C-alpha cells in the first residue's frame, strides 16, 4: 500500500447494476492492482472510489491493465486526478451518447434507405472516412423526402439511462452544460429541453416547403467545430480546460475528448476506445457522475 502523500489519483469501479453488483472480491482486487487505499462507497453494490497513486506507478502500469482484469465482470474502471474532480462544464455528444440512436440513421430507416446510410455512419464514426464528406453524402440521399420524416424519427428517440441525472446533477452543482452534435438542430433542441442542457448546437437540415433538399447549412458542425465550442465555453465561463468534462462515442468526438480535463468515451467505437483511456463500456451515464465523486444520493433526477 502506498503512503497517503502519493495517493494523487482516484480509481472508480462501477458495476452495471441491472446485470451484476460489486463484490468485496472485486473491490479488493482493484485495490491490489493499483496499490490503493480503503474504498469509499458511492452507491451500494454499484460504485466505489479508491484513492491511489498515479497510473504510471502501478506494477502493471495503466488503466488498461485494470480494465482487462475486470473484462468478464461487466464493470467499468475510470481513473482521474483527485484534484478538481467535480467539473464545472459538460460538453456532450448526442447520438449514441445522450440518446440511444443515430438520428440520421432513423430518418433513413423511415425513408426505406436505412442500411445504405447506416453503413456510411458506421465508417464515419469509426474514423474510416472524413466526417464532413460523409455527412454530405448521407444527407444528399434524403433529397426530395418529406420533412415529416423528422417527426416520425423523433418518436423513436430515447434518452440513454443516466442522461437526466448527469445533466441535472451537474447543473444543480453549478456546472454549465452543452449538447454539441454532428446531427441536427431539430433533434438537439428537443433533447436539450428534455435533459435541461443550457445550450445546444448541431447542423441545420435545409428544407424547401415541406421537403428536404438534401443539403445542410454551412459551415458543417464536425470535429473541429466541437472542439471550438469546447474552447469557447471554457473561455466564456472563465474556466480552465481542466474544469471541463467531454463525452462522446465517435471519431468526430476525439478532438474534444483529447483536450478536456475529463474526456470519457461512452460505449464508443473502436477507434475512440484505442485512444481515450477513460471509457464507459458496460454501465450508464451515471458513471460520469461517479467519476467526479458524486454519491448516488446526490443525483438529481427532477
Which one is catalytic: 76, 95, 105, 243? 95
Beta strands in 209-266 (DSSP E): 211-216, 244-248, 262-266
Query: CA torsion sign, 176 to 182 to 186 to 187?
Result: negative
Is 243 assigned a catalytic role?
Answer: no
The residues that bridge with 181 in the sheet, in sequence order, are none
Residue ranges in 101-213 assigned as alpha helix (H): 103-111, 114-125, 131-140, 148-154, 163-172, 185-195
Which one is catalytic: 3, 26, 76, 93? 93
Cell 445546444 belongs to which residue? 200
Buried b (16+ CB within 10 A) or exposed e, 244-283: bbbbbbbbbbbbbbeebbbbbbbbbbebbeeebbbbbbbb
Interatomic CA distance for residues 259 and 243, integer angstroms: 11
Is 32 assigned a catalytic role?
Answer: no
Contacts of residue 209, defined as CB under 8 A and 6 or more positions apart, other chains included, come to none
Give the residue numbers marked as catalytic.
93, 95
Amino acid at each position: 500500500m502506498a503512503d497517503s502523500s502519493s495517493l494523487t489519483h482516484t480509481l472508480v469501479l462501477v458495476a452495471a447494476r441491472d446485470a451484476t453488483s460489486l463484490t468485496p472480491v472485486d473491490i479488493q482486487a482493484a485495490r491490489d492492482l493499483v496499490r490503493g487505499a480503503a474504498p469509499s462507497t458511492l452507491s451500494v453494490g454499484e460504485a466505489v472510489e479508491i484513492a491511489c497513486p498515479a497510473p504510471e506507478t502501478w506494477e502493471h502500469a495503466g488503466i488498461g491493465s485494470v480494465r482487462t482484469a475486470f473484462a468478464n465482470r461487466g464493470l467499468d474502471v475510470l481513473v482521474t486526478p483527485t484534484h478538481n474532480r467535480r467539473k464545472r462544464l459538460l460538453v456532450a455528444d448526442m447520438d449514441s451518447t445522450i440518446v440511444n440512436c443515430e438520428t440520421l440513421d432513423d430518418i433513413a430507416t423511415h425513408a426505406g434507405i436505412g442500411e445504405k446510410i447506416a453503413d456510411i455512419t458506421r465508417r464515419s464514426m469509426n474514423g474510416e472516412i472524413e466526417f464532413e464528406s460523409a455527412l454530405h453524402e448521407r444527407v444528399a440521399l434524403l433529397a426530395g423526402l418529406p420533412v415529416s420524416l423528422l417527426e416520425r424519427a423523433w418518436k423513436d428517440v430515447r434518452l440513454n439511462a443516466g442522461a437526466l441525472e448527469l445533466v441535472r446533477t451537474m447543473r444543480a452543482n453549478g456546472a454549465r452544460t452543452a449538447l454539441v452534435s454532428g446531427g441536427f438542430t431539430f433533434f438537439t433542441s428537443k433533447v436539450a429541453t428534455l435533459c435541461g442542457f443550457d445550450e445546444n448546437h448541431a447542423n441545420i437540415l435545409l428544407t424547401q416547403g415541406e421537403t428536404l433538399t438534401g443539403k445542410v447549412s454551412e459551415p458543417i458542425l464536425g470535429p473541429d467545430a466541437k472542439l471550438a465550442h469546447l474552447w469557447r465555453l471554457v473561455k466564456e465561463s472563465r474556466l480552465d480546460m481542466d474544469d471541463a468534462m467531454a463525452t462522446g462515442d465517435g471519431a468526430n468526438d476525439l478532438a474534444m475528448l483529447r483536450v478536456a480535463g475529463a474526456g470519457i468515451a461512452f460505449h464508443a467505437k473502436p477507434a475512440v476506445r484505442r485512444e481515450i483511456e477513460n471509457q464507459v463500456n458496460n454501465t450508464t451515464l451515471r458513471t460520469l457522475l461517479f467519476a467526479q465523486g458524486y454519491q448516488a444520493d446526490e443525483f438529481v433526477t427532477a
